[in-house]
Amino acid sequence: MINQKIKESITNNSEELTALRRKLHSEPELSFEEFKTTAFVCAYLDELGIPYRKTEPTGVIAEIQAVPGGKTVALRADMDALPVQQLNTNVPYASKVEGKMHACGHDAHTSMLLIAAKALNDVKDQLPGNVRLLFQPAEEAAAGAKAIVAQGAMDGVDNVFGIHIWSQMPTNKVACSPGPSFAAADIIKVRFKGRGGHAAMPEDCIDAAIVASSFVMNVQTVVSRTIDPQSPAVLTIGKMVVGTRFNVIAENAEIEGTVRTFHPETRDHIEKSITQYAESVAAVYGATAEVEYIRGTDTVVNEEESANLVQQVAAEAFGSDAVYDEKPTMGAEDFSAYLTKAPGSFALVGSGNPEKDTEWAHHHGNFDIDEDALVTGAELYAQYAWAYLNK
């Protein structure tokens, strides 16, 4: 199933792979600001002679076309960094940009896909189909996948595959189970309006702080008392802004949070229930409520045949012990946008190593990866494409 020449190519280019990742890590760019990263990817593809086109405002769609009209498999890597201050500045590849860093591994994804492209291009004459390379912007904004899909990223694609470096898994382990992998992620915004006034005269007021506090303290019952416990859901309130001054009863309160679900019916129920609950709480106190429920990314659901292929490729390429059973996460991924256009799967590649201090949570200022995982990720990209096209 695997191609030995691909394996040798990626192994032989391991030092270059590390160097690519370190360069990208030191020069992070935020969502839809990846102009230098886009230029870097284009320059590398130019060296390989792989045709591409830029997407707007950032991003790249490239293609290794071996058989016009043949099957096409797409490989996706995201490129954007986060507005996070790097705390570990002792490493030689530390971020050079204040307040920005690759705290989620997207620098690794881009580097792995570039080296995978190099290996696949070397066996282009043996490929029975075509490989689409998607260098996606703005995953952290949950907008990049939709943007490049709208610009033709999935036109003519038969199958799509993506990878995420995962610090919660041991280095070089590969996880990809059929079914839900990443949760749907939505944003809720609730605005309560009461009647402000002097702090010493509460009888003349409707205290928005009380209304908002009651909502925050009790809205969890939407999950704990109205959702089947076997249908996972998370409702988190992350922000509350109330009042203007210590001796003024608040007239307005604004609350923001997120909802994470795996099943569409659970998602629909929570959206409806939050609105009903906010309006009911407001009515008890004589206030009013305005609810905005913003649907973000959909659930990433690994198609069974594709996920099984990932496991088969991983076992043959790295040994059966490399296949890891990682439970689904309530984290979100806009890879779901590709799966509305073609079947596919999304794999996790472990990079957690306590000896190298790479078990920090994603999005933390100390986040880093065990660079030994880069070769595993690059080969998994390339070998999956080879295996799919040779099915």
The residues assigned a catalytic role are 80, 139
Q: How far is CA 83 from CA 15, 245, 296, 340, in A?
A: 28, 30, 20, 29
Which residue, among 348, 338, 342, 345, has the nearest Cα to 298 in the 3D structure? 338
Cα–Cα distance between 222 and 336 in angstroms, integer?
26
**Dist. CA 358–CA 355, nearest whole Å:** 8
- 339 in Cβ contact with 160 (< 8 Å): yes
For residue 288, what is the enclosing H or E element?
strand 288-297
Annotated binding residue 104: yes
Burial 333-369 (b: 16+ CB within 10 A, else e): bbbbbbbeebbbbbbbbbbbbeeeebbbebebeebbb
Q: Which ranges in the chain belong to alpha helices (H)?
A: 4-12, 14-26, 35-48, 106-122, 144-150, 208-218, 221-224, 264-285, 304-318, 336-339, 373-389
- The verdict on whether residue 25 carries a ligand-binding annotation is no
Please tell me whether 363 is known to bind a ligand: yes
CA torsion sign, 216 to 140 to 370 to 302? Answer: positive
Question: According to the annotation, is 198 in a ligand binding site?
Answer: no
Q: Is 164 annotated as a binding residue?
A: yes
Give the three-state DSSP class for 181.
strand
Task: Report the C-alpha gap between 277 and 279 in whole angstroms.
Answer: 5
Question: Which residues are known binding-site members for Mn(2+)?
Answer: 104, 106, 140, 164, 363
